[in-house]
Chain A
Amino acid sequence: MICDSCKERDAVVHLTQIVDNAVTKLDLCEKCAAEKGVETSGGLPAHPLGQFLADVQQQTSIPAGEIGRCTFCGASMKDFRASGRLGCPRCYTTFEGSLRELLRRVHGHSRHVGRSYDAPEPVRREQDSIRGELRERLRRAVESEQFELAAELRDKIRVLDQ
């Protein structure tokens, strides 16, 4: 489809306007749309997976804004819609409902049946790396003003330090 304005580039923005009770349709390229002051990125998912998820949420009536932010990395569903990437492993728990549906649509299944995994016992890990990890979470908690969580993390670090 060619842009109605410049008649040169491919149209990527499709406008339906109602002027004087008449419906007019306008197909514009990105450049002409911008020149006419049409917002092309406002709130629109920038990533195909994000679009996919937006559709899923619409159909399953999970309000996009309702689920808030991940308590670990601070990512929201809006971030996911823009990038198509999740922020951290915890996002899978935070946005579990939406993601289960998304995974089902992408893969046809949402349950892993491949090799299972048991993480090494924390005692086998370096105490330092556990402390570092807790400090990182504490910084994130303070930044996102989650003070209750921050206090809890601070206590854990103190216990380790002793």
Chain B
Amino acid sequence: MTIDLSLLPDGGVSWLDASGANSDIVLSTRIRLARNVDGFAFTSRAREGERLRVLAQVREAAGASESLAGAFLFRLDEIQAQDRMLLHERHLVSKELAGLDANHPVKAGSAVFLGDGLGVMINEEDHLRLQSIRSGFALGEAYERAAALDRELGSRVPYAYHQEFGYLTACPTNTGTGMRASVLIHLPGLVLTKEIQRVLTGLQQMGLTYRGLYGEGSEVVGNFFQISNQTTLGRSEDELIEQLVHVVRRVIEKEEEARKVLQRDAGYIIEDKLWRAYGTLRFARSLTFDEAMNYLSGVRLAVGLKLISGLSVYTLNKLLVFSQPAHLSYVEGRMLNESEAAQARARYVRDALASEAGSNG
């Protein structure tokens, strides 16, 4: 079975539209709530029958949920690897749930509900992983939507909950609120001024952590950092979010300061570097993913510094997602090998930039 992503409201990527606050620096905000169904072993220890029953229970509850009205259910165990990869590249399912790791193939009962900026992964490490994604810096709003969905599902599906420990999760690092609040932020100024390490160390001292573009275990590419809370127990959801808001605000200020310093002290060097990045993307005939990410980071900075005009942040955001291997294969209508993908990527980026090139320079 092949999935039709156009069925999803805005392809499931409305968070790319750069409509949110601070969207020149903050790409997106995400809230994840980990929940488990009482009376079943956690996913990794659950039998196929148990996983299917978890799916059936969640499905029933989701069907009655207003938050998920119009949402689609994708059974990952019934669709092809290529399609699962598409969902992963859109940040809609984790690599684990999509079974993209050769050692961990997709498991029976793996599924995802996808609505507009809201979703539920089923039979991931925890039975339910509720996800709320918003464009830009919007932690409060993202949490409200996740919490509303949580109330709806929790009133029908009995969650595993402990009076002392809170929501019970497969991994004790998520126990308590089960909440991971994260902000995907672009920090080229801090990287170029070499201030980034100090900022990241500071985050860790405040009980926060950072990861790459794809969450846990992923590397930092294109100067994108995912900043999130590290601990989930002993503080309320509101406190955790409030602290993250406070810290991210400071990080945004620091990034803005760094950009000013760069322009003041190294104006033409930076300007040259960013235009070269633009030139490469505009004319290269082959681009690896990391290359594309790094040059796109430069162009995004150039747009932020108003060196390049007429190019929208939305276009740059879309390029992050659509220049990935599965998306390129999807557009080309066939599986691409690495060098074919590099050529297709260069072509895709060239076309996207050319269509907005009207008022450059």
Contacts and interface: CB of A to CB of B under 8 A. Distances in A.
A88 B236 contact: no
A117 B232 CA distance: 16
A109 B207 CA distance: 13
Contacts of A133: 39-40, 53
Interface string A69-103: 00011010000000111111100110000011011
Contacts of A42: none
Q: Give the interface size bracket for B toward A.
A: 35 or more
A92 to B, nearest CB: 5
A115 B236 contact: yes
Interface string B184-207: 000000000000000000000001
B29 interface: no
A62 B231 CA distance: 25
A83 B44 contact: yes
Interface centre among A72, A89, A113 (most CB of B within 10 A): A89
A114 B179 contact: yes
A106 B173 contact: yes
A107 B176 contact: yes
Interface centre among B161, B172, B236 (most CB of A within 10 A): B172
Contacts of A99: 165, 172
Contacts of A122: 158
Q: Give the interface size bracket for A toward B.
A: 35 or more
A119 interface: yes
A49 interface: yes
A53 to B, nearest CB: 9
A125 interface: yes
Contact of B166 (A75, A93, A112, A136): A112
A65 interface: no
A85 B42 contact: yes
B329 to A, nearest CB: 33
Interface string B159-171: 1111011111011
A108 interface: yes
B233 A72 contact: no
B165 A117 contact: no
A158 interface: no
Contacts of B41: 72-73, 87-88
A129 B40 contact: no
A119 B172 contact: no
Contact of B167 (A107, A117, A129): A117
A133 B157 CA distance: 13
Contact of A49 (B155, B164, B171, B179): B171
A68 B225 CA distance: 42
A63 interface: no
Given A113-B236, A114-B179, A86 B42 contact: yes
Contacts of A102: 172
A92 B170 CA distance: 10
B137 to A, nearest CB: 22
A85 B176 contact: no
Nearest to A109: B234
Interface string A102-136: 11001111111111010110101110010011001
Contacts of A132: 53
Contacts of B44: 83, 85
A98 to B, nearest CB: 10
B45 A87 contact: yes
Given A85-B42, A112-B233, A114-B236, A120 B158 contact: yes
A112 to B, nearest CB: 3
B42 A119 contact: no
Given A103-B172, A117-B154, A136 B165 contact: no
Given A99-B172, A115-B177, A115-B236, A110 B45 contact: no
B333 interface: no
A111 B236 CA distance: 11
B159 A85 contact: no
B159 A114 contact: no
18 contacts: A85-B125, A89-B162, A103-B172, A103-B176, A106-B233, A107-B175, A107-B232, A108-B234, A110-B164, A110-B233, A112-B175, A113-B235, A114-B240, A115-B237, A117-B154, A119-B38, A119-B154, A125-B158
- Nearest 9 pairs between A and B by C-beta? A109-B234, A112-B166, A89-B160, A107-B233, A114-B177, A119-B158, A88-B41, A107-B231, A133-B39
Given A100-B165, A120-B154, 13 more contacts: A73-B41, A87-B45, A92-B165, A99-B165, A107-B175, A107-B176, A111-B233, A114-B236, A114-B240, A117-B154, A119-B154, A136-B40, A136-B49
Interface of A: 49, 72-73, 75, 83-89, 92-93, 99-100, 102-103, 106-115, 117, 119-120, 122, 124-126, 129, 132-133, 136-137
